[in-house]
Amino acid sequence: MANASAAQPPRGRFAPSPTGRLHAGNIFSYLVAYIVAHRAGGTIALRIEDLDPQRSKSVFAQACLRDLDYLGLGWDVGPLYQSERTEIYREAFHELESKGLVYPCFCTRADVHAASAPHRGEKFVYAGTCRNLTAEQREERARDIAAEGRAPSMRLIVPDRTYAINDLFQGRYEQNLACDCGDFLIRRSDGAFAYQLAVVVDDAAQQVTQVVRGVDLLSSSPQQAYVQDLLGFGRVSYGHVPLLVSRTDRRLSKRDHDASIDQMRVSYGSAAGILGHIAYVVGMVPDDAPATVDELVVGADLAPLAGCIQKVWKA
Ligand code: GLU
């Protein structure tokens, strides 16, 4: 069971979704996860987040392992494949259900957006439309949507309570789950268990104590802290690193060929060339020169990441 005890060396993690090849953005966040864990004498777990069968491809998972290996971003535990863990997620789901905290939601995506208010530009707050339906209403709604060929999703009831994290890079971040988030999905209508459930179960299974990842997931951390508490796991520490954006102020994507691992191998000639360039672009080293993972563990300056949510990528 995970426990963020100060006496233990931390266990960090890489958790790639195999929906494409690695690029400068995810390499940057794995590099920082690696540096933070190794500086404290810790270890790294690897998890392939292939929860979504439509979007995940095993060729990308295989390529990811090879690319991490090429880059020298090694791991100590795993890989764990989420696609093989459905029964484990089901157990956790039943545990939450047995606490009376789970209910079926019959809303379509359009219903959810129509009934909810965007909050701080981060995410939609679910209005609780299906929370208080009676047993008869649930049966009726279930029949209606079955006739449309749909099944309900399942939501977790959240308390009117603030969950806060002390983020290594972003400082204190908090949400009142009732006001800022609303009851959230833990099983999708296609039957797949949701990211927010799987990620907490798997971090605990891999004894992860330190989650370093992109700042786009900062707003998920209070939800994950809540699920950790409900399932009796220790809290983990968090560090959310800036997103790499292209010059047009959008996230790096497949369109940014100069940030793809294959193109970077050509442009910078070696793993150290790629890592040194990424570290330079985000301001962690003063010169655009090759640097190995071990050199960056010793020498990279993480201070430029503090309080920062975006860094502009330059090839
Ligand atoms: N699998 C997610 C991604 O590749 C990361 C999830 C996490 O770090 O919690 O974006």
Structure tokens at 39: 């500086």
- Residue 265: helix, strand or coil by DSSP? helix
Confirm or reject: Cβ of 281 under 6 Å from ligand 1. Answer: no
The pLDDT, as a whole number, for residue 1 is: 44
Express each pLDDT in 94-115 by its tens digit.
Answer: 999 999 999 999 998 777 766 6
Average per-residue pLDDT for the chain:
93
The pLDDT, as a whole number, for residue 117 is: 56
Confirm or reject: Cβ of 199 under 6 Å from ligand 1. Answer: yes
The pLDDT, as a whole number, for residue 114 is: 65
The CATH number corresponding to 101-159+176-193 among 3.90.800.10, 3.50.50.60, 3.40.50.620, 3.30.70.3040 equals 3.90.800.10
Separation of 10 CA from ligand 1 center, angstroms?
A: 19
Q: Write the CB contacts of 146 (distance below 8 Å, at least 6 apart in sequence).
A: none
- Percent above pLDDT 90 for the chain: 87
The pLDDT, as a whole number, for residue 278 is: 98
Confirm or reject: Cβ of 17 under 6 Å from ligand 1. Answer: yes
- Residue 263: helix, strand or coil by DSSP? helix
The pLDDT, as a whole number, for residue 9 is: 96
Separation of 147 CA from ligand 1 center, angstroms?
A: 35
Express each pLDDT in 207-228 by its tens digit.
Answer: 999 999 999 999 999 999 999 9
Closest CA to 313 of 242, 252, 241: 252
Query: 11-84+242-312 belongs to which homologous superfamily?
Result: HUPs (3.40.50.620)
**Distance separating alpha carbons of residues 41 and 210, to the nearest angstrom:** 13
- Percent above pLDDT 70 for the chain: 95
Closest CA to 46 of 23, 80, 20: 80
Contact call for residues 85 and 198 (beta carbons, < 8 A):
yes
The pLDDT, as a whole number, for residue 250 is: 82
The pLDDT, as a whole number, for residue 2 is: 46
Q: Report the predicted TM-score, pTM, of the whole model to 2 decimal places.
A: 0.93
- Average pLDDT on 32-40 reads 98
Separation of 213 CA from ligand 1 center, angstroms?
A: 7
Confirm or reject: Cβ of 16 under 6 Å from ligand 1. Answer: yes
**Distance separating alpha carbons of residues 69 and 105, to the nearest angstrom:** 42
**Distance separating alpha carbons of residues 85 and 16, to the nearest angstrom:** 16
Residue with tokens 């993690």: 13
CA atoms within 13 A on the CB side of 291: 23
* Shortest-distance atom of ligand 1 to CA 26: 4
11-84+242-312 and 101-159+176-193: identical CATH topology: no
Express each pLDDT in 261-312 by its tens digit.
Answer: 999 999 999 999 999 999 999 999 999 999 999 999 999 999 999 999 999 9
H/E stretch holding 13 reads strand 11-14
- Average pLDDT on 37-53 reads 96
Confirm or reject: Cβ of 213 under 6 Å from ligand 1. Answer: yes
Residue with tokens 């979007």: 55
The pLDDT, as a whole number, for residue 67 is: 98
The pLDDT, as a whole number, for residue 110 is: 73
- Average pLDDT on 141-164 reads 96
Q: Write the CB contacts of 54 (distance below 8 Å, at least 6 apart in sequence).
A: none
Domain locations in the chain?
A: 11-84+242-312, 101-159+176-193
Task: Write the CA distances from 309 to 42, 148, 169, 215, 263, integer angstroms.
Answer: 26, 42, 9, 6, 25
Q: Write the CB contacts of 6 (distance below 8 Å, at least 6 apart in sequence).
A: none
